[in-house]
């Protein structure tokens, strides 16, 4: 059997903790979760669903910090080890990109960040005309952020860029939505020649007919390139008698045609079971939003929001996740 390998850079200082003795979990939680408490900065009610990337020997991040007015804001953070974080008290103030008129700030949440060519590109759910769509900005130093045009019209969420061009085009996953909390959702693929004009939309995945991902699904961290295809961690939602329940699964997408799914896990990989995932501002939420990967060892560290309140860490190995996904793949949607 072919052993799946990560494609990309080595990351020797990746945050890591071995699987607990006696555990058979494919994805296991950090024993000191949560790694970022809800009130790490004075103004924050909660810090969750955030983005982390390697940077200059350490780590940088863009964090969703809902303030004590319950307004959704985006803040920059830094860490030496990816576990202990310092987050700026002042929210990010965007500068307009060349040729772009200043865009009024309304709100921003659930950011993702990836290194794309010679810059870091950030996407997030951006308030536009009062409704959610996908904002895009670039930075080189995590100090100055240049905001580009929004990628799409409202309504859209969970915009996640691929970390390189595909077929010469930039590529993004997103989840078209509506004005509210969206009791539906599918993952779509779009491409662009310039990160501004998006088209050639393709359906990637739909919710299933039952189970943990039956109500809606959405892309999580930046897709991870492997020898077996693009590894995508995503959230799936079911509607229980007491509201939505968010869990995490994995899928493999074709490297050259990422709208084609080659395997998708039928069981979840991470599900709200710890108290910090079950109790918070929004109970029963595991929401993966960032992942670090070390090509030398196959280790992956996943950052996820718990109960829309705090930020947590989980760990896995690429070969085990891909083997699990294939061995437990959905046969019908």
Q: How confident is the model at residue 99 (pLDDT cuts 50, 70, 90)?
A: confident
Element (H, E) at 324: helix 318-327
> For residue 12, is it within any domain?
no
Q: How far is residue 123's CA from residue 220's CA, in Å, rounded to a whole number?
A: 12
The structure tokens 């994995």 sit at: 250
* Neighbouring residues of 294: CB distance < 8 A, sequence distance ≥ 6: 6, 10, 11, 12, 14, 300
Q: What is the extent of the structural domain holding 79? A: 28-327
Do 262 and 275 form a contact (C-beta atoms < 8 A)?
A: no
> For residue 90, is it within any domain?
yes
Do 178 and 155 form a contact (C-beta atoms < 8 A)?
A: yes
Q: What pLDDT is recorded for position 101?
A: 87
> For residue 13, is it within any domain?
no
> For residue 91, is it within any domain?
yes
- Number of domains present in the structure of the chain: 1
- pLDDT at residue 2 is higher than 90: no
- pLDDT at residue 265 is higher than 80: yes
> For residue 323, is it within any domain?
yes
> For residue 100, is it within any domain?
yes
Q: How far is residue 17's CA from residue 146's CA, in Å, rounded to a whole number?
A: 36
pLDDT tens digits along 129-178: 999 999 999 999 999 999 999 999 999 999 999 999 999 999 999 999 99
146-147 and 95-96 beta bridge pairing = parallel
Q: How far is residue 59's CA from residue 196's CA, in Å, rounded to a whole number?
A: 27
Q: 228: domain CATH number?
A: 2.115.10.20
Mean pLDDT of 47-73: 98
> For residue 20, is it within any domain?
no
- pLDDT at residue 323 is higher than 70: yes
* Neighbouring residues of 27: CB distance < 8 A, sequence distance ≥ 6: 248, 269, 270, 302, 314, 315, 316, 321
pLDDT tens digits along 221-251: 999 999 999 999 999 999 999 999 999 999 9
Q: What is the mean pLDDT of the chain?
A: 97
Q: What pLDDT is recorded for position 1?
A: 60
Q: What pLDDT is recorded for position 333?
A: 59
> For residue 99, is it within any domain?
yes
């Amino acid at each position: 059997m072919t052993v799946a390998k990560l494609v990309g850079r080595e990351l020797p200082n990746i945050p890591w903790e071995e699987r607990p003795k006696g555990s058979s979990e494919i994805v296991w939680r950090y024993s000191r979760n949560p790694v970022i408490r809800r009130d790490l900065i004075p103004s924050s009610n909660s810090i969750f669903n955030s983005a982390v990337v390697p940077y200059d020997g350490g780590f940088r991040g863009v964090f969703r910090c809902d303030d004590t007015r319950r307004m959704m804001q985006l803040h920059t953070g830094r860490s030496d080890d990816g576990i202990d974080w310092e987050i700026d008290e002042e929210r990010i103030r965007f500068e307009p990109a060349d040729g772009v008129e200043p865009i009024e700030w309304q709100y921003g949440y659930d950011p993702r960040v990836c290194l794309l060519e010679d810059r870091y590109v950030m996407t997030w759910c951006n308030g536009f005309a009062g409704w959610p769509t996908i904002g895009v900005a670039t930075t080189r130093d995590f100090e100055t952020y240049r905001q580009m045009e929004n990628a799409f019209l409202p309504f859209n969420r969970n915009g996640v860029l691929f970390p390189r061009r595909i077929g010469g085009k930039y590529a993004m996953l997103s989840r078209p939505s509506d004005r509210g909390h969206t009791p539906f959702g599918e993952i779509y693929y779009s491409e662009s020649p310039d990160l501004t004009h998006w088209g050639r939309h393709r359906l990637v995945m739909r919710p299933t007919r039952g189970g943990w991902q039956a109500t809606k699904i959405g892309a999580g961290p930046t897709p991870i390139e492997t020898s077996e295809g693009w590894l995508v961690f995503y959230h799936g939602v079911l509607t229980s008698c007491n509201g939505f329940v968010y869990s995490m699964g994995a899928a493999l997408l074709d490297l050259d045609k990422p709208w084609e799914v080659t395997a998708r896990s039928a069981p979840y990989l991470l599900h709200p079971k710890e108290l910090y995932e079950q109790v918070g501002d929004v109970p029963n939420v595991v929401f993966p939003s960032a992942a670090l990967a070390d090509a030398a060892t196959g280790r992956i560290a996943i950052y996820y929001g718990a109960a829309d309140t705090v930020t947590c860490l989980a760990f896995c190995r690429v070969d085990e996740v891909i083997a699990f996904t294939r061995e437990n793949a959905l046969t019908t949607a």
